[in-house]
């Protein structure tokens, strides 16, 4: 039988030239901010100010402004932390893992995804500090030499592992993002004049565009990709240890590491989807972020959504199979107890809704994709809420069972992280190239280039 390989679709549409790419991307960095940008940025800054005021108030007054109680010691704070860290994972996955697998379609989204990672990790870190009763002593959690004798951090504590995991992840992500941006910064430098030339020049740290530079650039990208790939798995694994190593029914679960990683990729892709769908419209980058991209992302969302769905069901099976009455009750309570609605929200958003993407028409529908990405992130927020709160609020001794009701402090401190995230993202999208020009140029011409249009259409 005669087998014909599938024809590779063009990754950049409408016959863009190398120069077009430079123009399309650099235009936004060089032009005056658009009205839309100003409005969006203004709103983000207002949200950030409101959130900052509440964060300051939380620090001043104490964590009592949240809705936590003697039984539920974590709720929105750690939910938000895990949620943001999870979102961050997509950036690393796209830039590192997909680089290693030579997935060329990643080139037009990896820059924004990495930026998102960094901002998301900062948001996550802010909740680590915020949730402390005495955040001004946060440095106690670092293994610093000190004058207290042999006083050290507790290396048995998953929270200490978190500190290492998150800080490693953050520094590697920053490095990856920045190094990947150097050629583009140089491009902008070369087109700029005056003060801007100096700033972008400094940021481009003397990039010449010589063959040697490119060779080294490729090498370092591969090395960093190799370094980051285990991080994609390890960071959320360690975050899941916060729960998995405890004794609380519903937390003490060995399935958590893979389940958390899948969930992280799931929510991260959804967030990237959201951001890219907005950016491609606002910056008119439809030729770079194509329907194929959106469709591919949706496939990954469906896959990872199904993985977490299986994990949810497995948890129930294990709880029943274990014969442990606390474990059994924890899961029955999760689905049917006073917080059943959060479980229902999680199941609907995460497991059921992505199944719609089995239909190609839905997968390629921009509006549905956008809405679905929002739904997925709502679902993933509820997943963490379900794990944390429904396990805690009814654990071993029924005398201590309580309910959790959020207060304005919980909500406003969560809003703070959105304010920060979007303010940072808008600043990034204005002052730095949102698409990796250099790498997109490298995928402009593909091997299926020369086929006539009609054959391609068939394929």
Which parts of this chain interact with other proteins (CB under 8 A)? 61-64, 67-71, 73-74, 131-141, 147, 151-154, 156-160, 163, 242, 245-248, 252, 320-329, 332-333, 335-336, 392, 394-403
Q: Minimum distance from CB of 153 to other proteins (Å)?
A: 6
Q: Minimum distance from CB of 231 to other proteins (Å)?
A: 21
Closer residue to other proteins, CB minimum distance, 62 or 209? 62
Q: Which residue has the tokens 């150097």?
A: 182
Closer residue to other proteins, CB minimum distance, 201 or 338? 338
CB distance 40 to 424 below 8 Å:
no
| HSE of 181, CA atoms in CB hemisphere, 13 A | 29
Closer residue to other proteins, CB minimum distance, 253 or 417? 253
Q: Minimum distance from CB of 336 to other proteins (Å)?
A: 4
Closer residue to other proteins, CB minimum distance, 215 or 332? 332
Q: Minimum distance from CB of 341 to other proteins (Å)?
A: 14
Closer residue to other proteins, CB minimum distance, 84 or 105? 84
- Please work out, in degrees rounded to the nearest 5, the angle formed at the alpha carbon of residue 135 by the alpha carbons of 51 and 155: 130
Tokens describing residue 299: 């496939």
The rounded distance, in Å, linking the Cα atoms of 291 and 288 is 9
Give the distance, in angstroms, between the CA of residue 272 and the centroid of all CA atoms in the same chain. Answer: 7
CB distance 121 to 89 below 8 Å:
no
Q: Minimum distance from CB of 127 to other proteins (Å)?
A: 11
Tokens describing residue 211: 């063959």
- Please work out, in degrees rounded to the nearest 5, the angle formed at the alpha carbon of residue 87 by the alpha carbons of 81 and 92: 120
Sign of CA dihedral 30, 31, 32, 38: negative
Please tell me whether residue 11 adopts helix, strand or coil conformation.
coil
Burial class of residue 145 (count of CB atoms within 10 Å of its CB; 0-12, 13-18, 19+): exposed
Closer residue to other proteins, CB minimum distance, 378 or 392? 392
Q: Minimum distance from CB of 56 to other proteins (Å)?
A: 15
Concatenated DSSP letters for 129-181?
HHTSSSGGGGGGGS----SSSS----TT-HHHHHHHHHHHHHHHHHHHHHHHH
Closer residue to other proteins, CB minimum distance, 336 or 355? 336
Q: Minimum distance from CB of 418 to other proteins (Å)?
A: 24
Closer residue to other proteins, CB minimum distance, 134 or 284? 134
Closer residue to other proteins, CB minimum distance, 335 or 427? 335
Q: How many residues are given for the chain?
A: 459
Tokens describing residue 26: 């650099």
Please state, in angstroms and as integers, the Cα–Cα distance from residue 279 to each residue in 28, 375, 423, following that order. 11, 19, 14
Closer residue to other proteins, CB minimum distance, 169 or 243? 243
Q: Minimum distance from CB of 129 to other proteins (Å)?
A: 10
Q: Minimum distance from CB of 333 to other proteins (Å)?
A: 7
Closer residue to other proteins, CB minimum distance, 395 or 413? 395
Q: Minimum distance from CB of 10 to other proteins (Å)?
A: 51
Tell me the H-state helices in 62-104.
76-92, 98-100
CB distance 181 to 111 below 8 Å:
yes
Contacts 24+ apart (CB under 8 A), 202-210: 207/182, 207/183, 209/183
The rounded distance, in Å, linking the Cα atoms of 259 and 314 is 10
Closer residue to other proteins, CB minimum distance, 265 or 392? 392
Q: Minimum distance from CB of 71 to other proteins (Å)?
A: 5
Element spanning 378, H or E = helix 366-385
Q: Minimum distance from CB of 337 to other proteins (Å)?
A: 8
| HSE of 137, CA atoms in CB hemisphere, 13 A | 5
The rounded distance, in Å, linking the Cα atoms of 398 and 3 is 65
């Amino acid at each position: 039988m005669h087998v014909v390989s599938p024809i590779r679709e063009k990754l950049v549409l409408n016959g863009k030239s190398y120069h077009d790419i430079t123009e399309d991307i650099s235009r936004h960095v060089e032009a005056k901010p658009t009205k839309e940008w100003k409005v969006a940025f203004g709103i983000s800054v207002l949200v950030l100010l409101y959130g900052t005021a509440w964060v300051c108030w939380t620090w001043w007054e104490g964590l009592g402004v949240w809705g936590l109680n003697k039984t539920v010691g974590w709720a929105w704070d750690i939910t938000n932390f895990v949620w943001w860290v999870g979102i961050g994972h997509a950036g690393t996955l796209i830039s590192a893992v997909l680089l290693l697998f030579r997935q060329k379609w990643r080139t037009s989204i990896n820059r924004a995804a990495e930026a998102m990672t960094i901002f998301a990790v900062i948001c996550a870190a802010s909740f680590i500090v915020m949730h402390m009763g005495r955040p001004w002593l946060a440095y106690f959690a670092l293994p610093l030499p000190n004058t207290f004798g042999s006083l050290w951090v507790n290396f048995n504590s998953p929270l200490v592992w978190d500190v290492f995991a998150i800080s490693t992840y953050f520094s590697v992500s920053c490095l990856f993002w920045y190094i990947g941006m150097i050629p583009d910064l140089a491009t902008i430098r070369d087109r700029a004049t005056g003060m801007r030339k100096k700033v972008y020049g400094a940021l481009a740290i003397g990039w010449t565009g010589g063959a040697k530079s490119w060779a080294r650039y490729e090498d370092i990208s591969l090395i960093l990709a190799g370094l980051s790939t285990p991080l994609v798995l390890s960071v959320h694994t360690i975050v899941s240890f916060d729960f998995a190593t405890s004794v609380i029914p519903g937390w003490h679960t060995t399935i958590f590491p893979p389940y958390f990683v899948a969930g992280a990729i799931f929510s991260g892709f959804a967030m990237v989807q959201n951001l890219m769908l907005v950016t491609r419209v606002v910056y008119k980058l439809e030729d770079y972020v194509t329907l194929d991209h959106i469709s591919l992302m949706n496939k990954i969302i469906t896959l990872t959504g199904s993985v977490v769905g299986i994990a949810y069901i497995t948890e129930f099976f294990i709880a029943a199979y274990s014969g442990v009455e606390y474990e059994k009750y924890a899961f029955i309570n999760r689905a049917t107890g006073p917080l059943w609605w959060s479980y229902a929200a999680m199941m609907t958003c995460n497991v059921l809704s992505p199944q719609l993407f089995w239909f190609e028409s839905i997968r390629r529908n921009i509006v549905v994709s956008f809405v679905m990405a929002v739904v997925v992130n709502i679902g993933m927020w509820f997943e963490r809420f379900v794990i944390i709160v429904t396990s805690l609020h009814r654990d071993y001794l029924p005398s201590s069972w309580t309910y959790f009701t959020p207060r304005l402090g919980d909500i406003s401190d969560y809003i703070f992280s959105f304010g920060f995230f979007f303010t940072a993202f808008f600043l990034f999208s204005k002052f730095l190239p949102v698409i990796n020009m250099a790498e997109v140029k490298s995928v402009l011409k593909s091997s299926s280039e020369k086929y006539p249009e009609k054959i391609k259409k068939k394929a």
